[in-house]
Amino acid sequence: MSTVTDAKRKAPAGERVADWADGRLGIYSLAKANMRKIFPDHWSFMLGEIALYSFIIIILTGVYLTLFFHPSMNEVVYHGSYVPMQGIRMTEAYASTLEISFDVRGGLLIRQIHHWAALIFLAAMFVHMMRVFFTGAFRKPREINWLFGFLLFVLGMFTGFTGYSLPDDLLSGTGVRFTQGAILATPVVGTYISFFLFGGEFPGHDMVARFYSIHILLLPGIMLGLVVAHLILVFYHKHTQFAGPGRTNKNVVGMPLLPVYMAKAGGFFFLVFGVIAAIAGLFTINPVWALGPYRPDQVSTGAQPDWYMGFAEGLIRVMPGWEINLWGHTLALGVFIPLTLFGLVLVALAVYPFIESWVTGDKREHHILDRPRNAPTRTALGVAWITGYVIMLLGGGNDIFATHFHLSINSITWFVRISYFVGPVLAFVITRRICLGLQRRDKDKVLHGRESGIIKRLPHGEFVEVHEPLSQQQLHTLTAHEQYAPAEIGPSVDENGVERKVTRGQKLRAKLSKGYYGEGNQIPKPTADEYKEITSGHGHH
């Protein structure tokens, strides 16, 4: 009896707090499932973490900025400390951004951290998505998480856009003007949407205040919810892993959350924050003071959006100026087509997991990642998409590339116009060939061993290269991938001789499936029999 009370009295303070919390929140059950949760180690699994941490950094610095920023379009005459703007008329939004940059100690640093982190956030999400795409991590059960991630990327783009528009400087104002022009090009409702969004004619007096509430409340609120959901699903599904000895579809191999990942992931947050803070201390971003306040009759050359809107800018720049005037209405195809393409390019990304699962007809869970080479058609499609995206990024910067590489802006535009159609096709073909080549090499390695680089002279004078056989771990890793057989439509008549109805969907699927997995579109992996035959035959090399 006395020993029990003793133990109770001696329970450390931390434990007592935990007991208290457990009685109300049930934290012990939660911790039991998660505290020693296993995470696999691979650098590419940390790309999402870069995105997550830069998102947190953006929120932290963003809150600080709201303390000083005035989201108002009231006009003031500047009399602050930046000499080249003294006496200039500007909105309070621009004036308060100058104040943050020049009068608030550390304000400039926080502004630059916020902006650099935003660029890196979007870049990290992009690379993270590519990692998930090329390794097939989007397959069941993770399709919904792919969509969450996709939404985060798109919302991130618009949060970034509304954010860099807030200072109301000449560069961002030009971007807002473009947005307004693009909205006007929307058939039927465009003019009305523009008048409602801007509170009347452009630029009006409401834009900054409205963008502000969208930028700091609406979009980040949704994003925060999506981030939490995304992370919950990552925990719930458990992380994917690459094939390897001991790694199966029914386990996850790695190190426990406590302590290793607590230290690694927690430490990585500080590393990311540290790198971004140092970049913000050393490198200027968006020097709004050099750009001047927005006026709709002023402009500068080199007017680009931040990089993540660059491919939309490219689409808009290289589009020919088509316009249809009919029955008293104008359809500005020169703006509307790029706008539609912008949506379609993104949607293609969103729906891909569903298309692939329809083609394969595979409804099983997949927790082992594909090496990109082992899914040649998917990899080639991904590279083709990226090629188109990058070509449009180039198009979006055509004036900068023209001056810095001494080219004609018109030639660059034509190059982009043509290569937007040719480039992805070439990229597709080339990538698939490279993937198949790598598959062949893997097969060779499995069957004949690794080329050691050692040349041996045989007694009869022949020179051969010694091949080292692979270890069983390596053999397993190189043959662990799954290979689908192409789907067949089947005979056109069933066993009773009655004609079967083959829908167009089925035909399309069979065609696609053949494109993915048909002969020549993947290299059959070596079988155990092939291996045994070669190794027992022994010595023909």
Partner 1 sequence: MKKLSARRRHPLAAVVVLLLALAATGGLYAAFAPAGKAQADETAQSLAIEEGKRLYATGCSSCHGTGGQGGSDGPSLVGVGSAAVDFQVGTGRMPAQQPGAQVPKKPRIYSQAEIDQLAAYVASLGAGPITPTEKQYSPEGADIAKGGDLFRTNCAQCHNFTGEGGALTNGKYAPSLEGVSPKHLYQAMQTGPQNMPSFPDTTLPEQQKKDIIAYVKTVNGEETETPGGFALGGLGPVSEGLFGWIFGLGSLIAVAVWVAAHTAKAKKS
Partner 2 sequence: MSSQEIPEKNLPSEQDTAHGAVAVAEDPFADPGLPPHKPRVQDIDERAAKRSERTVALLFTLSMLSTIGFIASFVAFPVEKIVYVWPLGHVSALNLSLGVTLGLALFCIGAGAVHWARTLMSDVEVADDRHPIEADPVVKAKVMSDFAAGAEESAIGRRKLIRTTMFGALAMVPLSGVVLLRDLGPLPEEKLRHTLWGKGKQLINMNTNEPLRPEDVAVGSLTFAKPEGLEEDNHEFNNEIAKAALMIVRLQPQDIKDKRELDWSHQGIVAFSKICTHVGCPISLYEQQTHHVLCPCHQSTFDLSDGARVIFGPAGHALPQLRIGVNDEGFLEALGDFEEPVGPSFWERG
- Contacting partner 2 within 122-161 (CB under 8 A): 141
The nearer residue to partner 2, 273 or 352, going by C-beta atoms, is 273
Cα distance between residue 121 and residue 149, in whole Å: 12
Partner whose binding site includes residue 483, from partner 1, partner 2, none (CB under 5 to 8 Å by kind): partner 2
Considering only residues 472 through 501, tell me which ones interact with partner 2, judged by CB under 8 A.
Answer: 472-473, 475-476, 479-480, 482-488
Q: Which of residues 281-310 bind partner 2 (CB under 8 A)?
A: 281-282, 295-303
Q: How far is the CB of 392 from partner 2 (least distance, A)?
A: 13
d(CA 251, CA 45): 17
Structure tokens at 460: 């009869």
- What is the spatial distance between Cα 97 and Cα 85, in angstroms, rounded to a whole number? 12
Minimum Å gap between C-beta 118 and partner 1 is: 9
In the region spanning residues 322 to 381, those forming contacts with partner 1, defined by CB under 8 A, are none
Using rule CB under 8 A, residue 268 touches partner 1: yes
Which one, of 283, 285, 274, lies nearest residue 57 by Cα? 274
CB under 8 Å to 222, separation ≥6 — which residues?
Answer: 155
Nearer to partner 2, 20 or 196 (CB): 196
Q: Hey, which residues between 165 and 204 contact partner 2 (CB under 8 A)?
A: 174, 177-178, 180-182, 184-192, 194-204
**In the complex with partner 1, which residue's Cβ is closer, 194 or 398?**
398
Q: Which helix (H) or strand (E) holds 6?
A: helix 2-10
Residue 162 binds: one of partner 1, partner 2, none (C-beta under 5 to 8 A by kind)? none
Token readout for 340 is 């539609």
Cβ proximity to partner 2: between 371 and 427 the closer is: 371
Residue 287, interface with partner 1 (CB under 8 A)? Answer: yes
Q: Are 414 and 395 in contact (CB under 8 A)?
A: no
3-state secondary structure (DSSP) of residue 91: strand
Scan residues 33-72 and list those touching partner 1 (CB under 8 A): 41-43, 45-47, 49-50
CA nearest 478: which of 501, 453, 512, 444?
444
> Quick one: tokens of 254?
């790695």
The DSSP symbol for 486 reads P
| Smaller CB separation from partner 2, 27 or 184 | 184
Q: How far is CA 208 from CA 160, 176, 213, in A?
A: 14, 10, 9
Quick check: 275 binds partner 1 (CB under 8 A)? yes
Strand bridging mode 450-457 / 463-468? antiparallel
Find the binder of partner 1 among 103, 399, 482, 530 (CB under 8 A).
399
d(CA 487, CA 258): 45
Rounded to an integer, what distance in angstroms lies between the CA atom of residue 12 and that of residue 481?
Answer: 50
- Binding-site size for partner 2 (CB under 8 A) equals 142
Picking from 324, 337, 347, 290, the residue whose alpha carbon sits closest to that of residue 94 is 290
Among 409, 434, 489, 534, binds partner 1 (CB under 8 A): 409
Q: How many CB atoms lie within 10 A of CB 536?
A: 7
Q: Per-residue string for binding with partner 2, 337-356, x by CB under 8 A?
A: -x------------------
Residue pair 274/54 in contact (Cβ under 8 Å)? The answer is: no
For residue 101, state whether it binds partner 1 (rule: CB under 8 A).
yes
Check residue 504 for interaction with partner 2 (CB under 8 A).
no
Which residues in 234-270 are b (16+ Cβ under 10 Å) and which e?
A: eeebebbbbbeeebeeeebebeebeeebeebeeebbe
Closest contact distance (angstroms) between CB of 137 and partner 2 is 14
Per-residue binder mask for partner 2 (CB under 8 A), 5-34, x = binder: ------------------------------
395 binds partner 1 (CB under 8 A): no
Binding piece for partner 1, criterion CB under 8 A, among 5-13, 239-247, 286-294, 379-387: 286-294
Q: Shortest distance, CB of residue 364 to partner 1, whole angstroms?
A: 28
Tokens of 339: 């706008």
Contact pattern from residue 289 through residue 308 relative to partner 1, giving x for each residue in contact according to CB under 8 A and a dash for the rest: -xxx--x-xxxxxxxxxxx-
Q: Binding residues for partner 1, how many (CB under 8 A)?
A: 74
Q: Which of 14, 246, 328, 453 binds partner 1 (CB under 8 A)?
A: 453
Residue type, 99: E
Footprint on residues 381-410 left by partner 2 (CB under 8 A): 398-399, 409-410
Instruction: For residue 537, state whether it binds partner 2 (rule: CB under 8 A).
Output: no
